[in-house]
Amino acid sequence: MLNINKTIDGDNLCVALAGRLDTATSPQLEEELKSALDGISTLVMDFKELEYISSAGLRVLLSAQKLMSERGGMKVTNVNEVIMEIFEVTGFTDILTIE
């Protein structure tokens, strides 16, 4: 189960995720991002309530990062210990801007 809460402020989009980002839920996030990123220059992914991320979720993050690097930028906030460990093991700490 994944809850996605989007907040748009001008050309800034904040996407707050709650639950699990895995093979079952990552297509949902991918669709939400595709429809929401037009005209957006800054994307903030808020992981405050995200419990888990799988390789499928990482792929969605990676494609969002690639897209946003051409438009302005993307950052990931409120990353918990479990997800931070996944980011470190996979090398995502070098790819993503994490605050």
At 8-18, the pLDDT tens digits run: 999 999 999 99
What is the rounded distance in angstroms from the CA atom of residue 20 to the CA atom of residue 55? 12
Q: Where are the alpha helices (DSSP H) in 1-99?
A: 26-36, 55-71, 81-90, 92-95
Q: 43 and 74 in contact (C-beta within 8 Å)? A: yes
Q: What are the beta bridge partners of residue 76?
A: 45, 98
- Name the token pair of 37: 């990123």
pTM of the model: 0.94
pLDDT 10s digits, 42-70: 999 999 999 999 999 999 999 999 999 99
Domains in the chain: boundaries: 2-98
Across the range 68-95, mean pLDDT stands at 96
What is the pLDDT, as a whole number, of residue 96? 96
For 50, phi then psi, to 5°, come to -85, 125
CATH second-level architecture of 2-98? Answer: 2-Layer Sandwich (3.30)
Given a contact cutoff of 8 angstroms between Cβ atoms, the answer to whether 33 and 65 are in contact is: no
Q: Provide the 8-state DSSP code for 90.
A: H
